[in-house]
Amino acid sequence: MDDFIKRWQFTRSETIEILQSLTDEQLQFKPEGDKWQSIFHQFGCISRTQLIYAKAAEDGVMDLSLFSSSKIPDKDSHQTNAAILAFLNESNDAWLTALSQNNGAVKWPGDKKPIEVHIMSLAEHERLHHGQLVSYFTTAGFELPPNFKRNWAL
Chain segment 25-79, per-residue pLDDT in tens: 999 999 999 999 999 999 999 999 999 999 999 999 999 999 999 989 989 999 9
Nearest to 120 by CA among 38, 8, 3, 6: 8
User: Residue 121 has what pLDDT?
Assistant: 97
With a cut of 90, say whether residue 19 has pLDDT above it.
Answer: yes
- The CATH number for 101's domain is 1.20.120.450
32 domain residue, yes or no? no
The number of distinct structural domains making up the chain is 1
131 domain residue, yes or no? yes
154 domain residue, yes or no? no
Domain region containing 16: 2-27+38-148
User: Residue 85 has what pLDDT?
Assistant: 98
Tens of pLDDT along 104-144?
Answer: 999 999 999 999 999 999 999 999 999 999 999 999 999 99
107 domain residue, yes or no? yes
121 domain residue, yes or no? yes
With a cut of 90, say whether residue 1 has pLDDT above it.
Answer: no
118 domain residue, yes or no? yes
User: Residue 44 has what pLDDT?
Assistant: 97
